[in-house]
Every structure is written in structure tokens, then in C-alpha cells.
Structure 1
Amino acid sequence: MLVLPSVSRIVRLVAHPDGALRPEHFEIAEVPVQPPTPNEVLVCNRWFRVSISTRLMASKGAQSIKGIPFPPLNLGDTLADGAIGEVVQAPAESDLHPGDLVLHGFGWREYATVPQQDCVRIDARGVDPAVYLGHGWTAYAALTHGVQVHDGDVVFVSSGAGAIGSMAGQIARKLGAGRVIGSTGSEEKARWMKAELGYDEVVIRGATPITQQLAQAAPDGIDVYVDMVGGEPLQAAASLARHGARFVLLGALSAELAAEGAEKLAPVELDTFQLIVRGVTLRGYSACEDDRDGFAEWVRWLSRWQHEGKIISPSSRFQGIEQGPFALSEACAGNLKGVVLVEL
């Protein structure tokens, strides 16, 4: 049984970012461990996820946004994100017991007091935590519930090396895509995406216009577009959409990672007449809002594909809570691959 300590280390916001998010915007603090109330569970965290969306939520005047599963941050607030932890104390009448592993939304702290209804017991021993904390299920739900991939489809995925994109390309292939194209920000990531994730081609942001690169990679156009960026990649995809193309819009990194500071506005100019003529469908989609029950389905398929040795769950990992702010700044700078995890 775990021994309850007197203090827990947390990461909290001490300054709103003005431009790039840096480690000095945060501090590691020690706070007393509060005993849980009768409706709460005390959890010792083992892993937590680091999300780029934290930059937007840490901005001055940030507001809650559908699809981002943690709240805006005021100065002094503790960060939050998905986490896996071990139960220390639980209500006597609950079905949780000390030592159980649970999934919850109170990462960025060593010990968390979590409402009982927000704890999901999982069987993660010996299982890669990226399976539960990664965004593979978001990619899976987007490509099966948000849109459908047909045999032979040409699929384009923006931010293809990120937490969602690194899974979306692989999943699209498993669902029958004939050609999978991704976008990223560096030659090194492009090589990795081809070698490890199976992308056929990768367009690189900032090289030549994305529309030009995408036209070379998909001369006959695209059928499915998974958008995490907005902006130039979305414009390029729209210009090369085949008749009946399906777009699923999951994020807007062009706004969240804007050089002048994160914001909610992600403007882009699209030729709507061509979208109408070609019968293109654009759907905004949030797996955590629109398909809350899809996670179990995803875990079953992932287990099967991993057993067959046909899919990987990429991640960038850091050790210790003190590495969390650095991991976040590196993720926002575009220097990491897959889901970003901190092990405690």
C-alpha cells in the first residue's frame, strides 16, 4: 500500500506568455496533500500528458473551448491534463481499491484528489501508457465516426508527426487508404514519418508553397483530409479536393501556435464555390465531445493491430515533474514527435 506523504509537487502558471511559451512561465511548488472527502479518490500519478493546447489556455483572458479537456489558467493555477495514477485512498463504498490504476484529468501534479466519478479504472500494467494518454483514439474516431475512409482513398494529414497525426496516418492505411500524405515542419520529421509511420509522401511547411508540394504528391487530388492546423494546409487541401472529398477538422494549430501569441481565430480563405461544385464535406469534430464511448472500441482495434505488429504509438518522454515545463515548451516549438508524456 502506498504511504501518504505530507506534500506534493505541482506545476503552476506564474506568468501569461507573450509569444512563445517558455519554462519560466511556470514554477514547481510544494503544496500539502489534502485527505480526500467521502466522494473523492486520492491518486498518486505515474504519468501525465503534455498538450500544446496548454499554450492557448495559459494565455491572458483565455476562455473554455469545446474539445480542450482542461480549463483556462489564471496566475497561480495548477496545470491539468490527462494522467494515469495509482489509487491511494478511495471511498469505502466505491469499486476502487488502493493499487488500482485509474485514468483521470488531473495531471501536472504528483498527487491528485479526484472526484470519484472522474476516475476510470484501467488495466494498464505492462501496457504502454501512450495507449491511454495518446490521441490515437481521437484519430480513430475521426476516421471512422467523423468521416469514413474508403478503399483506395488518398488521405492527407496535417501535422502528421504530432500526437494525432502520427496515429492518423497509420490508421488511415489500416482502414484502406491507398495513399497517405502528411505535412510537418522539418526534413528530419519527414524522414521519420516515412520510415516509421508509413507515410508515402510528406510536404514540409516553409519549403515551397504547400499547395504546390501537395499537387506533386497527389496529382489526382485528395479524398480525405484530417486537419490539425487550419491555415495554409487547409487551403491547399481544399484546392486539391476530389469530388465527394471529406474533411474532418480537429484542431487549429495555426492559431494556437501563432508567433505573436495563441488565439482562437484561425482565418483562412477558401473557394467555397469549388467546394460546392465538388460536393466537399467539411466537419468540425471533437472525439471527447462527440464520441465519448469510442475509446473502448479504439483500444480493442489497437490491441489487435499491435498484436499483428502493424501499428506503433509514437511518443516523446520526459522523466520527473520538473521536466514538464521544458517538455511543454519543446512541444510548442515543434521539436517533439507523437504524444508527449512525463513519467513521475
Structure 2
Amino acid sequence: MATFKRIVLASRPKGQVTPDNFRLEEVPVPSLKDGEVLIRNHFLSLDPYMRMRMEDVKSYAAPQALNETMIGGTAGEIVESKNPKFAVGDKVVGMMGWSEMGVSDGTLLRKVDTAHIPLSAYLGSVGMPGMTAWYGLTQIMQPKEGETIVVSAASGAVGSVVGQLAKQRGCRAVGIAGGKEKCAYVVDELGFDACIDYKAGNLEADLAKATPNGIDAIFENVGGEIFDACLARMNAFGRIALCGLIAGYDGEPMAIRNTRAFLTMRLTMRGFIVSEHPELWPQGLKELGTLVATGKLKFRESVAPSLEAAPEAFIGLLKGKNFGKQLVKLV
């Protein structure tokens, strides 16, 4: 009997995620019903939101069930089809999870063209992370030419896209990242105007130097002291797209200390979940796909070599060890 490997959530983390929270299983390849397709996944996307889904708490989506395949975006190829809309050989993007194979009835499954865009990019710049960046920037930050925008986790899959899109709209783009190598990449390769190394210990002074005219909009991925330092530099009527709070995902309490800025600077902050806005995906993906295909939107990937390596790669992602988009190669 043919089998494939998958990783399930074995236990909920208490504090930091550990490899023991996951379990590798080998399961039989299922037979298809009418309307279904069998997909051989080539890449798995690892993303910070998965950490929140591991908790059994009230959130925007149901918690990840124990002893079930871990949730996750995938890109792969159809190897068997009983659905007239999909043919064997079609490249598709879906949510098959931490698994070498998956069955879908076609819901939330998207055919993609790999002639000018690599398959892996559909999990990054031309996928959910890219759309997250596009939505937060265009719909919430609404930057005007000449304004200064700040992006935390600027070398990551989302932040790197935010800054590049802002530059194309005539803004001053300032990134925040951890380490000299990441900051050099953000400026030299991605074209940001400046990048602050928060690990250097001069966050407030470096931020002031990089934003001489203050900050008009923030794309927030981290929270904590980085967010507070940015709030202190905000201009009147500034906008904040709250995308993530990765500094607090392991259960550490996080307070916003500079709350006074919301009143004195009349700030607007909005949290968002990009999957709740499907009506805008065609518009955003068209822009992102064109930019990637023409080389005007650059991206970098960290690729773990196998499904077995996914837990350690995910733990590394939560600690900022990845450089760019974190993927797992499954073929």
C-alpha cells in the first residue's frame, strides 16, 4: 500500500514551542471520490500565525486540532484527478498542511502558472505573505508620496514586500531587522532607504536618525519595545497596520507603553487578517505577480530540506533565524 508522511500537532505548547509538540506519522494514500484531486506537495509554507493556532484560545480562527495534520499553505502538483476543473500535472496552491500529499475537492485550491514565476513564490511574494503586505499597505496605511513608513521584521516574507511596494509609491521606507546582514540586505538588495538593527542596542537613537521627518505609517509585525519606539516618532494622523505581534507569541505579556501617542497624534491602528478580504486578492495578486515576473519585486527564501525538518525550521522562524520566506521542500 502506498503511503506518505505528515506531521500532526501532538500537544499544545506551554510557553515556547518544542519539537515534542509535533509527531511524524506515515499514513496510507487515500482513494479519491468524485470531484476530488490528489496533490503531491512540493513546498510547505511556515508562517508565524501557526503559533497562535496551536493555542486553545478564542481567536479569529478555530484552534489547530490535536492529532490532526498541522495547518499550512502548500504548493504542489496534481497527480490524480476526479475533478473536471483540474488535470494531472496542474500546479496548484492550497492549504494541505504539513504533509507530503493531500486530497482536495477543489475548494480554496488555486491553479498557478510557473512559466515566469517560481512555484515557491506563490507561498511568498505572490501568495498570502505578499497579499498581507499589499493589503496592510494599500488599505490601512494608505501612504502618500513623500511620506515615511516603517516596517518591523523588514527582511521577512511580509515586511520585505511592504517596503518595496512603498518605495514604488514614492515613500521613504525604513526597515527594522535583527543583525547587520539582514539590514544590509534590506537596504542594498530591497532598496529601503534605511534599516535599523534592533540588536545593536541603539534603537531609539537609530530610529530618530532614520526618520528625521517623523513616521507617517507603521506596518507592525513584532510589538514590544520596537513598536513603542516607533509610536514615539509618529506624526499627526498616522496609520498603523497591525499584522503580527511575534514578540509575544510564546506567552510573554506585552504592553503598549506609549499609548498617549494615540491621543496626542490622533493615530489610527487596525488589526487585520488578510484571508477575510478575498474580494481584493485578484487585484493584489495581479500587481504582485507582475512585479515578481518582471524582476521588480525581489524576495529571498530559507528552505528546510524535508518534512522531518519542519518543526525545527518553525521554531527557528519564531526566533527570527530565517532569512526571508521560510519554506520546507517536500520533493
TM-score (norm 1): 0.86
Q: 2:80 aligns with which of 89, 97, 104?
A: 89
Per-residue displacement from partner, 1:21-77 (whole Å, max 9, x unpaired)? 333432322111111333432211111101123233334xx23632x6xx5334422
Q: 1:121 aligns with which of 108, 111, 124?
A: 111
Aligned residue in 1 for 2:328: 342
Q: Partner of 2:176: helix, strand, or coil? A: strand
Aligned partners of 1:326 and 1:271: how far apart in 2? 36
Aligned partners of 1:73 and 1:305: how far apart in 2? 34
Aligned residue in 1 for 2:141: 147
Higher RCO (C-alpha under 8 Å, 6+ residues apart)? 1
Q: Is the 8 A contact 1:231 1:266 kept in 2?
A: yes
Q: Is the 8 A contact 2:117 2:292 kept in 1?
A: no
Aligned partners of 1:281 and 1:27: how far apart in 2? 42
Q: Partner of 1:123: helix, strand, or coil? A: coil
Q: 2:288 aligns with which of 290, 293, 302?
A: 302
More displaced 10-residue stretch of structure 1: 208-217 or 232-241: 208-217
Q: 1:35 aligns with which of 31, 35, 38?
A: 31
Aligned partners of 2:115 and 2:34: how far apart in 1? 27
Alignment of 1:185-204 (within 5 A): 185-204=178-197
Deviation at 1:175, TM superposition (A): 1.5
Matched, 1:77 2:68: yes
Matched, 1:267 2:258: no
Structure 1 residues 310 and 85: alpha-carbon distance in aligned structure 2, compared to 1, 3 A threshold: closer
Aligned partners of 1:91 and 1:78: how far apart in 2? 23
Q: Partner of 2:222: helix, strand, or coil? A: coil
Deviation at 1:281, TM superposition (A): 1.8
Matched, 1:255 2:248: yes
Per-residue displacement from partner, 1:203-255 (whole Å, max 9, x unpaired)? 22243353332112112211111001122222122211112211111111121
Deviation at 1:309, TM superposition (A): 3.2
Q: Partner of 2:107: helix, strand, or coil? A: helix
TM-score (norm 2): 0.89
Number of aligned residue pairs: give it.
Answer: 326
Deviation at 1:145, TM superposition (A): 1.7
Q: Is the 8 A contact 1:166 1:314 kept in 2?
A: no
Q: Which runs of 5+ in 1 are unaligned?
A: none
Could you say what the CA RMSD is over the residues aligned between the two structures, in angstroms? 2.3
Per-residue displacement from partner, 1:248-299 (whole Å, max 9, x unpaired)? 111111211xxxx347x64312333x4334332212222211x213332233
Q: Is the 8 A contact 2:75 2:92 kept in 1?
A: yes
Structure 1 residues 188 and 301: alpha-carbon distance in aligned structure 2, compared to 1, 3 A threshold: same
More displaced 10-residue stretch of structure 1: 113-122 or 102-111: 113-122
Aligned partners of 1:254 and 1:329: how far apart in 2? 13
Q: 1:321 aligns with which of 303, 307, 313?
A: 307
Identity %: 28
Aligned residue in 1 for 2:265: 278
